[in-house]
Amino acid sequence: MTRYTDQGKQDTRSGFGAGMTELGRTNPKVVTLCADLVGSLKIETFIAENPERFFQVGIAEANMMGIAAGLTIGGYIPFTSTFANFSTGRVYDQIRQSIAYSGKNVKICASHAGITLGEDGATHQILEDIGLMKMLPGMTVINPCDFNQTKAATLAVAEHQGPVYLRFGRPKVANFTPADQVFEIGKAVKLSEGNDVTIIATGHLVWEALKAAEALETQGISAEVINIHTIKPLDEKAILDSVAKTGCVVTAEEHNMLGGLGESVARTLATHHPAPQELVAVRDSFGESGTPEQLMAKYGLDNKAIETAVFKALKRKA
């Protein structure tokens, strides 16, 4: 299988910050709004270089969404920024009514997503945001896997016309994708070829999927690993082509199993090519306080959990 090297751990939120810095220098239509979390979103450089294109709204996230929707009418491309819980759950009505319903060109950028937020605990560890956002008509949902891909995604969404939900995280994780990658919205990335099982992962679980695939290879199991960075629109062709070859699939995500990537894949398979599927995801529960590593292990979101799911899928295929 193809081997990937960790180029040095970095947080995906810093990938967003790096993307915003570049956009600040290259796209005068890009403006940024923040709900009192500038340091957490890593947008200090954008603000320092473009103070006239930054709006600090304070802890008033609903107002931030309304302002962003209004800015699009003047031809601007607003990027809202706060924690994922406040970017979605707290302001769902405003997003639905003011942004999605009217197709406003707002980029909703959400840091500290999922259980790897860690010690802040269940109230901040939103695990339902992908489901909330993918159900909104016309909303594009993106969940990149590392620093480089988050930076590339940030640049790509500025060129995309229409509302986007861009999700990323807090902890430093493996940075293994190319720095010069071209990010294609809606296009899956096949990271390794395999014949026995398809592993479809998103976000922080992509690196865990690669580690699982390496361990499986030592046991004679050939796993095809696919990075689904765009959950909506979903690259159904990539999924179906792979599963037609391998005959079974494991999906892996840092999200509730209800409403996430796994359900989107299950719908695709049920409609076009039924096949055994196992889901690695949080099983209908809230999170809790702990280190990211402790929580990923406890909630079954690491490479060991993916390996276990692969054996279950293979048994069902047989």
Q: Which residues participate in catalysis according to the annotation?
A: 61
Provide CB contacts within 8 A for 227, sequence distance 6+.
145, 188, 189, 190, 191, 201, 202, 206
Q: Where are the alpha helices (DSSP H) in the chain?
A: 12-26, 38-41, 44-49, 61-73, 84-88, 92-94, 129-134, 147-159, 205-217, 236-246, 261-272, 292-298, 303-317
How far apart CA 130 and CA 127 sit, in angstroms, is 8
Residue 43 region, left (φ>0) first, then alpha (ψ -120 to 50), else beta? alpha
Backbone angles phi, psi at 89, to 5 degrees: -60, -40
Which amino acid is present at 45?
T
